[in-house]
Amino acid sequence: MSIPSLIILGCWIVFIVYWWVSALKQKATAERMSFLSSLAYRIPICAGVILVARYHWPQPLNLPLTPYTPVSPAIGAALCVAGLILTIWSRWTLAGNWSSEVTFKQGHQLVNTGPYRFVRHPIYSGIILMLLASVVQYGRLHCWLGWVIFCMGFWIKLRQEETIMQRHFPEYSSYRAKVKALVPFIL
């Protein structure tokens, strides 16, 4: 396994371990979306991960789309490290308000500091960037297709979260008008 591949794998391991440990410190849930509502984002997110993670697909899914260059693996590793840093910083800033599901916590606070000054959903931005690292590294059609489907799942989840935030925080409209969802100044 190449060094960039090991870096990407290491980033995902750190991400998973950090998430498990930090999940122990979340506030109690006051409101939760239904399980059926969660399927709207869970299915595309899981489908996207499967498409990216499974390496051998039949043609045409295995067609190379991104030309391999000697710097492709380094670019992938750098994107993954940047995404990991963003997700950890965002998760740490969000603290007990975080949940892996679409929820509203008891004593929930609207967080607009740290990375939340630049985008409303920096954890999603970081995770999307981390998965993009694998896509850039392997560059096959199934990877790009999986990444797009994965992003669609996070967009659905983002919209569900914003519905809850808007209902509980009247000032969320102002925050939403000033700060982009995923990419500073763009999206």
What integer pLDDT is reported at residue 154 of this predicted model? 97
pTM score over 0.85? yes
Within a domain: 187: no
Domain with residue 81: its CATH number is 1.20.120.1630
Domains identified in the chain, total number: 1
Q: What are the pLDDT digits (tens) for 115-170?
A: 999 999 999 999 999 999 989 888 899 999 999 999 999 999 999 999 999 999 99
Domain housing 114: 3-178
Task: Decide: 122 and 90 in contact? Cβ < 8 Å.
Answer: yes
Quote helix, strand, coil % in the chain, to nearest 5: 65, 5, 30
The first and second tokens of residue 1, run together, are 């396994």
**pLDDT number for residue 109:** 92
pLDDT (0 to 100) of residue 160:
96
Q: What pLDDT, on the 0 to 100 scale, is given for residue 146?
A: 97
Report residues of the chain scoring pLDDT below 50: none
